[in-house]
Amino acid sequence: MNPDPPLRFEAVPNFSEGRSPETLAALAEAAGDLLLDLHHDAAHHRAVLTLAGRGGQLAVASRALLRTAMERIDLRRHRGEHPRVGALDVLPVVPLGTASLEDAARLARRIGAELAATGDLPVFLYGHASPTREALPRIRRGGPAGLARRVARGEMTPDYGPGRLHPTAGAVVVGARDFLIAFNVNLEGGGLRVARRIAARIRNRPDDPRPSLRAIGVRLAAPGEVQVSMNLLDFRRTSVKEAFDRVEAEARRRGAGVRSSEIVGLIPAAATWPGMERDLGLAGPPRTVESALAAGQGRCAPLYPALVRAAT
């Protein structure tokens, strides 16, 4: 009898860096042949990498990515729109193929422990990796300063590592979850106050036991341009089209409109449909996890140094 094939997972580390081509290229190099995608944004000052591989491979790559982030990112000088508590801010693990969510949780806990030892920094677990199913927004509330205060007061205790934030790298939040779609809608008119009001209107309540949509309003790099930035935690309960339509309707009610939208990173094929880019005002067809895996992981990794230089 043939043994079962090794389990595979996706890891989606988020970094507090979206502007330095050299740092983006270094992160891509640290990810190596596991890299499927790299998305970066100057206004959010954030980069999202998508990796796929076996558990051991992802653990090794995660340590290399943390070392690179700690060498190149200093949170004391970081200014960006996206919430964060760390240089390597959050690292979710997602099951692929026959792997289960519990398999992903075990791997997330392994990675969390190894990152704490590698960087001598605190690691907090969230989602299915956390014994209490801790929510990511609660950990990141108030940014590094807010988290540091709660740790000092004993209101929050790291799952791994020291009971204080690293002076330049902060903390890392590691979790396990199903596929999440990061989806942003750029508004035409209205300003930041309107974007924030729309986000508050469409997102799930904080006490919702099964949230499927989180949203915030943020500024973009160009003066006057704003965005409703969303996380679709369960695209089967709240689809990309439903999220877009809700933003568009709320914007219209407030005398604003929708200029365009974007999907951050890769998206499951089940969440797409023919003509998606036309319906949502995307710059082009979204890249799917399945197509990236079929194309062969690692092929894109050597291209990223050139790509990030060309994008800036």
Residue of 86, 85, 87, 105 lying closest to 95 (CA atoms): 105
Q: Which backbone phi and psi does 127 adopt, to 5 degrees?
A: 65, -145
Q: Return all residues near 110 (Cβ < 8 A) that are at least 6 apart.
A: 55, 59
Q: Is 273 helix (H, G, I), strand (E, B) or coil?
A: coil
Q: Which of 45, 82, 128, 166 is flagged as catalytic?
A: 82
The CA angle 89-94-96, to the nearest 5 degrees, is 150
Measure CA 242 to chain center: 21
Any long-range contacts for 269-272 (C-beta under 8 Å, 24+ apart)? 270/235, 270/236, 271/179, 271/181, 271/235, 271/239, 271/240
Instruction: Pull the structure tokens for residue 307.
Output: 């790509």
The partner residues of 50 in beta bridges, in order of sequence, read 37
Instruction: Pull the structure tokens for residue 144.
Output: 């590094």
Q: Which backbone phi and psi does 268 adopt, to 5 degrees?
A: -65, 140
| Whether 44 is catalytic | no
Question: Which residues have a catalytic role annotated?
Answer: 82
